[in-house]
């Protein structure tokens, strides 16, 4: 299978490193940045073909592929999906900025008998898979709660984003949605505060409600009477205070302004000063932790399943010279791509992760160092 990875930042690099050694996969990578392409070529040598993305659309890089993975930005999902559909090419992305518009394209993808697997990263992605795994063990699902416990500290960098800084600050500064009693409810930015106890050695972290794709898709596709879904992200007090200050003084404004002889956006300047996720791995400590709690009923008894994974940034740096967030986010689509290449995922249409059989995916992730744990009446290691 000819696989094209579009966007070679930290996450795209993880996907490419996994797939470069995969039998039955012919790998190409594409980016607008020639320096990134030369870097990945040095790493993978003859096992990868590099292609530059120009300003005239995606046709040239897409048309010869069997599967395209968008690890660049959710903002290009729809355009890229339309291009892939035109050429009958399978598609995958890691996150969405408009789930409804993507799902609305399902009929065209089914007609062409090709797959568009959307939101297949860590969260969304692995979080959805965990929710489906637990839901399959229940007769009725009452609630699904997702807690992202990623955190880091660094002696070198005073402010860090473990994934795309643009997406990170958009998420925490935007209103969020929760699903309550069959309806969506909007919450102000930086609300829903609670102290959540993550598995050791992470421990207690402050979390806040953040707008996330799982809240849109899980009520629709898990079914079983689910009445509540939310997503909360760990945000340190120092980060919250810094973000509020940056917003108050205008450094997060997108509107351009004149500074001497230049026209600049304060937000663009600020984001340019934040270290890229691909640069920070060897300079940070901490963990990425994902926990999914699913509460429901099985055989007439109330049951709560808690499924989680965690990885230290130090371990991810040893494995692939990336931070743990990048490793988790990139390994999930890489595993899915390998399964598609082997015919183990043979769906067609626009699909979300919770529509797939979770068990084989969890098993494959274990082989790539992502251990998944489930707790209910007893604790055991999945797969």
Report pLDDT digits (tens) over 241-285.
888 888 888 888 888 988 888 888 888 888 787 777 767 767 788
Provide the token pair at 50. Answer: 């590099």
CA end-to-end span of the chain, whole Å?
27
Cα distance between residue 270 and residue 357, in whole Å = 42
Phi/psi at 55 (5° precision): -95, 10
What pTM value is reported for the model?
Answer: 0.92
Q: What is the pLDDT of residues 54-75, one digit of tens each?
A: 777 899 899 999 999 999 999 9
Mean pLDDT, the chain, rounded, equals: 91
> What sign results for the dihedral spanned by CA atoms 261, 263, 266, 267?
negative
Convert the pLDDT of each residue in 123-180 to its tens digit.
Answer: 999 999 999 999 999 999 999 999 999 887 777 776 666 677 777 778 888 899 999 9
Contact (CB, 8 A) for 311 and 324: yes
Pick from 81-85, 131-135, 296-300: least confident: 296-300
Query: What is the dihedral sign for C-alpha 15, 17, 20, 26?
Result: positive
Q: Around Cβ 64, how many Cβ atoms within 10 Å? A: 12
Domains of the chain in sequence order: 2-117 (3.40.50.720), 126-326+356-381 (3.30.360.10)
- Residues 209-229, mean pLDDT to the nearest whole number: 95
Looking at residue 274, its pLDDT comes to 78
**Does position 380 have pLDDT exceeding 50, yes or no?**
no
- The pLDDT score that the predictor gives to residue 159 is 67
| 199/272 Cα distance (integer angstroms) | 34
CB distance 364 to 334 below 8 Å: no
Residue range 374-381: average pLDDT? Answer: 66
* Residue 327, both tokens: 């490793």
Across the range 179-190, mean pLDDT stands at: 93
């Amino acid at each position: 299978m000819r696989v094209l990875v579009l966007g070679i930042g930290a996450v795209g690099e993880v996907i490419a490193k996994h797939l470069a050694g995969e039998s039955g996969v012919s790998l190409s990578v594409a980016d607008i940045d020639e320096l990134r392409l030369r870097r990945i070529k040095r790493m993978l040598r003859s096992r990868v073909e590099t292609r530059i993305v120009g300003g005239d659309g995606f046709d040239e890089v897409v048309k010869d592929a069997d599967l395209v993975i968008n690890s660049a930005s959710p903002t290009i999902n729809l355009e890229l999906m339309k291009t892939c559909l035109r050429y009958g090419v399978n598609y995958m992305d890691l996150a969405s900025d408009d789930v409804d518009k993507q799902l609305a394209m399902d009929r065209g993808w089914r007609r062409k008998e090709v797959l568009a697997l959307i939101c297949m990263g860590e969260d969304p992605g692995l979080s959805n898979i965990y929710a489906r795994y637990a839901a399959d063990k229940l007769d009725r699902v009452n609630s699904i709660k997702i807690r992202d416990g990623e955190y880091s500290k660094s002696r070198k960098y005073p402010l860090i984003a473990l994934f795309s800084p643009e997406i990170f600050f958009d998420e925490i500064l935007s209103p969020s949605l929760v699903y309550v009693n069959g309806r969506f409810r909007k919450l102000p930015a930086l609300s829903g505060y609670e102290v959540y106890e993550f598995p050791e050695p992470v421990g207690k972290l402050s979390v806040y409600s953040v707008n996330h794709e799982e809240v849109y898709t899980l009520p629709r596709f898990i079914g079983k009477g689910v009445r509540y879904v939310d997503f909360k992200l760990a945000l340190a007090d120092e980060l919250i205070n810094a973000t509020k200050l940056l917003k108050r003084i205008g450094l997060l404004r997108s509107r351009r302004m004149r500074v001497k002889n230049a026209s600049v956006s304060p937000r663009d300047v600020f984001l340019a000063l934040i270290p890229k996720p691909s640069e920070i791995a060897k300079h940070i400590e901490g963990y990425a932790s994902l926990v999914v709690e699913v509460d429901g009923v099985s055989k007439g008894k109330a049951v709560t399943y808690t499924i989680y994974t965690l990885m230290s940034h130090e371990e991810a740096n040893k494995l692939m010279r990336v931070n743990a967030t990048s490793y988790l986010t990139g390994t999930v689509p890489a595993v899915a791509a390998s399964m598609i290449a082997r015919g183990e995922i043979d769906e067609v249409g626009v699909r979300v992760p919770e529509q797939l059989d979770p068990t084989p995916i969890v098993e494959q992730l274990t082989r790539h160092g992502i251990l998944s744990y489930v707790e209910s009446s007893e604790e055991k290691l999945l797969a």
